[in-house]
Structures are given as C-alpha cells and as structure tokens.
C-alpha cells in the first residue's frame, strides 16, 4: 500500500492575490516587449507557477473498501459455490452409483462451479 499525499492547505484570498502579481507583470511586459516570443514564454511560466501554487497535487484514489467487506463477500461466495459443488458431487455419486453418467454429471457440476467463480 502506498502512502497518500498530504492534502494541500486551502489558499486564502490574500495569498491568491499575491500570486497573481507575477502573471500580471508578465502580461504587462508582453505588450511592451521587444522579443514577443521570450515574453510569451515568461507569461506561460508565470501562469504555470500560479496554477501549480493554487491547484493541490492530485491525491491517490482513496480505498473504496477500507474494511475489506468486498473481500469477505467474495470469500463467502467462493465457499458457497465450492460447498454446493461438493454436496452436488456427493449426491450425484450416490444417486448414479458410478459409471460414465456420474462422471459426466460430476464434470458438469465442477465446470459450472468454475464458471461461477470466474465470472464473479
């Protein structure tokens, strides 16, 4: 299990205003710059820095089943299917008293049990 990133503290309005200074200055310089390409790059860097400071780092997706309920349900289903197949095998073996019909019935029972387990 990997550690989750700490959530970033919310940015206050005054901090947001202070962080707007760099993009604002870069945009102002863009209008009067002799080198528009360099000035445009400065604007993009300032905007990237502004957005990186405001947007918290993405968190790891939280666990959807922290108490293991789904895992317990899957284990229970597995035991029910396998237990049912064992009981059905015993009934078929006693009722048909051996031979190839019993073998086919038992193979069908276990094939069905396997199909149920694979589909869940």
For residues 33 and 39, is the Cβ–Cβ distance under 8 A? yes
The pLDDT of residue 25 is 84
Q: What is the pLDDT of residue 65?
A: 63
Tokens found for residue 89: 């095998």
67 vs 102 pLDDT, higher one: 102
Of 13-22, 31-40, 72-81, the range with the lowest mean pLDDT is 13-22
pLDDT > 70: percent of the chain: 79
- pTM above 0.75? no
Choice between 17 and 79, residue whose per-residue pLDDT is larger: 79
Condensed to tens digits (0 to 9), the pLDDT of residues 54-64 reads 766 666 666 66
Checking if the pLDDT of 2 tops 60, the result is: no
Question: In whole angstroms, how far apart are CA 100 and each of 53, 92, 114?
Answer: 73, 12, 21
Predicted pLDDT of residue 3: 47
Comparing CA positions, the residue from 49, 58, 55, 1 lying closest to residue 26 is 49
Q: Is 46 exposed, middle or buried (0-12, 13-18, 19+ CB in 10 A)?
A: buried
Residues 68-87 have pLDDT tens digits of: 777 788 888 888 988 888 88
């Amino acid at each position: 299990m990997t550690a989750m990133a700490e959530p970033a503290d919310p940015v206050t309005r005054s901090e947001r205003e202070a962080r707007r200074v760099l993009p604002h200055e870069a945009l102002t310089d863009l209008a009067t710059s002799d080198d528009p390409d360099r000035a445009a790059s400065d604007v993009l860097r300032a905007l990237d820095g502004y957005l990186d400071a405001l947007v918290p780092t993405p968190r790891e997706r939280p666990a959807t089943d922290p108490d293991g309920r789904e895992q317990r349900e899957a284990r229970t289903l597995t035991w029910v299917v396998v237990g049912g197949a064992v009981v059905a095998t015993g009934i078929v073996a006693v009722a048909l008293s051996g031979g190839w019909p019993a073998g086919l019935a038992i193979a069908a029972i276990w094939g069905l049990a396997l199909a149920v387990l694979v589909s869940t």
